[in-house]
Amino acid sequence: MDIFFHDHKGSRIAELNADSILIGNEDDALQLFIDLSYQDAAGIIVHEQLLAPAFFNLSSGLAGAILQKCSNYNIRLAIVGRFDQYPGQSLKDFIVESNKGRQVNFLPSVAEALEKLSV
C-alpha cells in the first residue's frame, strides 16, 4: 500500500493506492481510518478498486457498516471511480444521497475529491 498526502487548500488529505483490495471488511476500514487519523489526515481518498466488490452490493451490509464508521469517527471519505458500471437502482440512490452530504462522497476524479474534502 502506498499513501500519498496532498496538501490542498490547507487540508492534509491521504490518497491510498495499492495493487489489491485494501478494504475487505469493516475492521480493515476502521484500522485504516485510525492509522490515517494519527497521521493528521483531514480526509481520505480511496479508489474504487481498493474496496471489496461486496461494498457495491448494498445487501451485503459492508457499505453501510463502513459509512457508519465514518460517521462515528468523523472521517471524511471520498471514493473515486466509475460507479455507473454497477447495476441496481439502490446503489445509484445510495450514491446520490451520500453525495448530498460531506461525510462520504462518490466522485469521478481525484481532483474533485480533493476539492470536496478540503472544503
Tens digits of per-residue pLDDT, 70-113? 998 889 999 999 998 888 899 999 999 999 999 999 999 999 99
C-alpha cell belonging to residue 116: 470536496
Q: State the average pLDDT over residues 25-42.
A: 93
- Distance from chain centroid for Cα 40: 17
Around Cβ 31, how many Cβ atoms within 10 Å? 12
| Domains of the chain, each with CATH number or no CATH | 2-117 (3.30.750)
Q: State the average pLDDT over residues 8-26.
A: 94
Relative to beta strand 11-17, strand 2-8 is antiparallel
- The closest alpha carbon to 55, from 96, 19, 83, 75, belongs to 83
Rounded distance between C-alpha atoms, residue 62 and residue 117, angstroms: 22
